Amino acid sequence: MLFKNEFHDDFGTWPLAYIPYGGADFGEVRAVADAVGDGDDGAFHDAFVAAGDRLKGQGDEALAKGHEASARESYLRASVFYAASFHPIFGAPVDPRLLATYRKQVEAFDKGLALGPHPVRPLSIPFGETPMPGYFIPAHGFEAERRPLVILNNGYDATITDTYFASAVAASRRGYHALLFDGPGQGAMLYEQGIPLRPDWEVVINAVVDFALTLPLVDPKRIALYGWSLGGHLAPRGASGEPRLAALIADPGTWSIADGFRKVVVDKFGVAPEAAADLGTLEQAVIDRLDAIIRKDRTLYWKVVQRGFWVHGVDNLRAFFASAEPFTMKGRAELIQCPTLITQTEGDALAEDAGTFLDALTCPTTLLSFTAAEGADGHCEMQNRSLLNRRVFDWLDEQLT
């Protein structure tokens, strides 16, 4: 581990995945880990923010001297380090440090993208009373040409900066335009507007595709949707109600939010399957036992209480379970019409039901597996995103050419 604390290491090493795409270098992450040392979540936050401030300062200095290329790179790297800083302090009420650093992140990201021969500006995607923020990243070398589009769908706790470096840069290099956005429960929609996640993601994707079709550089017949992390559930759910998509990628394919908890309740607590069919109606004694276990485990506490409660807009475990139940592909998987790629990664619990997911689909399907031997194990292949992107975009080339 780079970080002494395993919980910190899980979050602190995210920027390593972005090294091939210019988001960080190993030494920069190592230096942050050294600065954190045995420190707490506050020390983690402060060390990453200090690194972001240093990189932003380098960007300011380069820009003042007319070195736009260096300034762009520095600002974009700064956004990565700001983005990494606040994961451990997730939760409601919202920590003022999270909002302050998130705003620094967005400012640095926007400054970086605005520089260079093909500047990118923030977009506003119409969506009810609150538009969704987005960015259109043009294909490298084809910035003024009509090209296929990849819509990149985030997950539970990543930001647009993460998605940009995880997949958008790779998509652009492969000749794809990319559209990034924050939907309900994600990034600015959650942090700034307080809008929680919603299960009917097809409504979200309908709005994003409607917007994409207004962009003159988008080939309307070649629009793909690519979801990572929880986006591996949200993107398929969105595709189940969006017939205008030409391809779908789910990394990893995730059938349900509630099923993982349901398995624990049945296998570990001895609750009858029929009694666990709706986790929101579990006996209070079972809820209390689960709540106690979750609150004693640092990782579970973060995933459920800090992140889950906030993202779902609830304040207790029963309400969280009830809100999680509608996030399922049951009755929806067979509605997906376009060719679909599902990934399954060794060591990722969220990928365990990928085969079952695949079997439920009636569209053309492909399963891509990734292993520890390739250095691509773990959630979302974060230790070898370049391998994941090569294989995913090879598949997409075959579908859209």
* Catalytic residue list: 229
Q: Select from 153, 53, 156 the least CA-distant residue to 107.
A: 53
Largest CA distance in the chain: 68
| Interatomic CA distance for residues 399 and 144, integer angstroms | 23
Other CB atoms within 10 Å distance of the CB of residue 246 = 19
- Please state the φ and ψ torsions of residue 258, each to the nearest 5 degrees: -75, -25
Q: How far apart are CA 173 and CA 176, in angstroms?
A: 7
Element (H, E) at 342: strand 340-345
Are 383 and 352 in contact by the 8 Å Cβ rule? The answer is no
Structure tokens at 246: 């030409």
| Residues ≥6 apart with Cβ < 8 Å to 355 | 344, 367
| 113, 143 contact by CB (below 8 A) | no
Task: Tell me the residue type at 215.
Answer: L
DSSP 73: H
Contact predicate 102/191, CB 8 Å: yes
